């Protein structure tokens, strides 16, 4: 009877023991990150010594070498490069734009930038009357008669009433992505798009646009929200308002680049992979600090944290610095293709691409059982400000991985997006303002520790 009672006591105490162990391990992760974290200094080097990293640029190539060298110096179990061909778009000479004919104002310079992937106007520029619309439906209602030979001004703002700024972004970004092709259908010769921001700002936001097959490739620029409001006012006062803009961007041949991968090999379940990462490329206007240097250094720091606290994982842990998220997703697609080819078994993938701000939680897409298990760890993570586990979603670079099928691949994996407080994210997104000085050291290091804590729990307990 005494033996039976002992074993009953042992079995009932196991969950409490596991929770105590988990609490201690998570605390050690946060302590190491906040006392000795290297994310901030890594980001300082990436942004200040390398700078902007648009795919195909010298900066992108330098960032690949940097990421590989850092992880090799850390003596991880494996560090390697995954070759991938990427687009090579160049901005060229600085853009100019101005109001050249108006009843209410003399010539007025506008704050603009070319959208990524746009064709250039060449030295002659384009000059024409401006026609304002907010939606593609409004454009269609105007028809060819009222659009042909004009410059279309897409002026749909992000909805400032939405608490999630990414939902506001999703509601407005279609005009940036497809506005040029939609306007070209009706004979427009150029497009101006309101920048993707909720704030009144004097600087423009770039970002990717795309041309649809069989449609004339007309040039597209973004205008600052401040000047978008001014243009809207002027068009209402003067139906003959004319705009001039000139860009010198062009798309060159694809060039070779790489994803950078660092790995700590697992023990008992080494065939199961937990991947986490950010995208190494950035737009060319600034340093790419929040988008997405922060995510890259946080992913790298996860591995360093585990080494620093002496933790040996059960499963294989892999940090991935993806190339070409901004204008093609080639890196994410290649990573998924190679995972399928090598029959790798990913059980989870985590992406950090919402900036280096204060941690709030994780969004998830995948099997309900896996999401329920992650939510069951909420009491362990709440003391560190991680309270939001309700949203659906994963990251753009890991989405292709979640589409893999087969018994040894990722059909049942969970995709996870690290969620910081992103209220200020679109102040900097794709602009000249996305610089190192906009990042808080403490917030960045807290984010790295948050990702490491979740990776630890998945590694310890699995997702089944």
- Specify the pLDDT at position 103: 67
pLDDT in tens, 106-163: 679 999 999 999 999 989 999 999 999 999 999 999 999 999 999 999 999 999 999 9
pLDDT in tens, 247-281: 999 999 999 999 999 999 999 999 999 999 999 99
- Specify the pLDDT at position 231: 96
Q: Which of 105, 91, 92, 94 is closest to 227 using CA atoms?
A: 105
Give every residue of the chain whose pLDDT is below 50, as ranges. Answer: 5-14, 406-411
Q: Which residues pair with 246 in a beta bridge?
A: 96
Among residues 95, 132, 201, 325, the one annotated as catalytic is 325
- Residue 293's SS3 state is helix
Find tokens 């705009």 and name the residue. 243
b/e sequence 124-134, b meaning 16+ C-beta within 10 Å: ebbbbbbbbbb
Please give the model's pTM, rounded to 2 decimal places.
0.94
The count of other CB atoms within 10 Å of the CB of residue 25 is 17
Token pair listed for 380: 């362990």
- Assess whether 325 carries a catalytic annotation: yes
- Specify the pLDDT at position 95: 98
- Specify the pLDDT at position 258: 98
Q: How far apart are CA 390 and CA 398, in angstroms?
A: 19
Q: Is 405 exposed, middle or buried (0-12, 13-18, 19+ CB in 10 A)?
A: exposed
- Specify the pLDDT at position 16: 63
Domains and CATH numbers, the chain: 28-87+253-461 (3.40.630.10), 92-248 (3.50.30.30)
- Cα separations (Å) of 320 from 350, 354, 397, 458? 10, 16, 10, 18
Q: How far apart are CA 347 and CA 332, in angstroms?
A: 16
């Amino acid at each position: 009877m005494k033996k039976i009672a002992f074993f009953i006591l042992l079995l009932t105490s196991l969950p409490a023991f596991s929770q105590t162990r988990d609490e201690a391990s998570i605390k050690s992760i946060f302590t190491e990150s906040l006392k000795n974290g290297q994310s901030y200094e890594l980001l300082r080097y990436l942004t200040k010594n390398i700078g902007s990293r648009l795919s195909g640029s010298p900066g992108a190539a330098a960032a690949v070498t940097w990421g590989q060298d850092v992880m090799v110096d850390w003596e991880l179990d494996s560090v390697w490069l995954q070759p991938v061909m990427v687009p090579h778009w160049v901005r060229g000479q600085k853009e100019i734009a101005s109001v050249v004919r108006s009843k209410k104002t003399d010539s007025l310079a506008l704050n603009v930038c070319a959208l990524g992937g746009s064709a250039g106007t060449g030295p002659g520029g384009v000059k024409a009357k401006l026609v304002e619309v907010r939606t593609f439906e409004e454009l269609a209602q105007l028809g060819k008669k009222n659009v042909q030979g004009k410059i279309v001004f897409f002026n749909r703002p992000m909805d400032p009433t939405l608490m999630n700024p990414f939902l506001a972004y999703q509601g407005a970004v279609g005009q940036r992505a497809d506005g040029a092709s939609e306007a070209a259908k009706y004979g427009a010769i150029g497009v101006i798009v309101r920048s993707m921001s909720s704030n009144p700002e004097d600087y423009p936001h770039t970002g990717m646009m795309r041309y649809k097959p069989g449609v004339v490739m007309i040039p597209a620029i973004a205008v600052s929200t401040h000047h978008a409001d001014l243009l809207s006012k002027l068009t209402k006062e003067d139906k003959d308002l004319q705009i001039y803009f000139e860009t010198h961007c062009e798309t060159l041949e694809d060039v070779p680049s790489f994803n950078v991968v660092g790995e700590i090999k697992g023990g008992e379940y080494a065939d199961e992979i937990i991947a986490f990462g950010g995208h190494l490329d950035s737009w060319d206007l600034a340093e790419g600090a929040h988008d997405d240097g922060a995510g890259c250094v946080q992913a790298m720091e996860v591995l360093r944290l585990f080494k620093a606290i002496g933790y040996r994982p059960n499963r294989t842990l892999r940090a991935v610095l993806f190339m070409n998220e901004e204008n093609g997703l080639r890196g994410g697609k290649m990573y998924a293709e190679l995972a399928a080819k090598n029959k790798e078994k990913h059980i989870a993938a985590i992406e950090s691409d919402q900036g280096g701000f204060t941690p709030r939680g994780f969004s998830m897409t995948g099997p309900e059982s896996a999401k329920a298990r992650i939510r069951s760890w909420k009491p362990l993570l709440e003391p560190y400000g991680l309270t939001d586990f309700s949203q659906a979603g994963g990251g753009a670079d890991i989405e292709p991985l979640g589409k893999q099928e087969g018994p040894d691949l990722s059909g049942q994996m969970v995709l996870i997006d690290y969620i910081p407080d992103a209220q200020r994210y679109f102040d900097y997104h794709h602009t000249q303002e996305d610089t190192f000085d906009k990042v808080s050291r403490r917030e960045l290091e807290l984010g790295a520790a948050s990702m490491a804590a979740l990776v630890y729990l998945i590694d310890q307990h699995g997702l089944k």
